[in-house]
Amino acid sequence: MKSGQQFLRRLLDCIEDSPLRLTRKRRGLLEVMTSFDRPFLASELLEKARLPTGDLVTIYRTLEAFEGIGIVQRIPLENGGHLFELTEPHDHHHHFVCRQCYRTERLDLCLANDLEKRARRLGFSDITHTMEVYGLCADCR
State in angstroms the smallest separation of the CB of 99 from DNA.
Answer: 12
Q: With H, G, I as helix, E, B as strand and everything else as coil, classify residue 34.
A: helix
Please spell the DSSP secondary structure of 3-21, one letter per residue. Answer: STHHHHHHHHHHHHTSSS-
Q: Which is nearer to a copy of itself, 90 or 129 (CB)?
A: 129
**From 31-39, 74-82, 111-119, 130-138, span contacting DNA (CB under 7 A):** 74-82
Find the binder of a copy of itself among 31, 61, 105, 113 (CB under 8 A).
Answer: 105
Conformation bin of residue 3: beta by default, left when phi > 0, alpha when psi is -120 to 50: left
Residue 125 binds: one of DNA, a copy of itself, none (C-beta under 5 to 8 A by kind)? a copy of itself
Nearest to 12 by CA among 39, 30, 34: 30
Angle between helix 56-68 and 42-49 (nearest 10): 110
Least gap, CB of 127 to DNA (angstroms):
20
Q: Which residues bind DNA (CB under 7 A)?
A: 19-26, 41-43, 51-58, 60-62, 64-65, 79-82
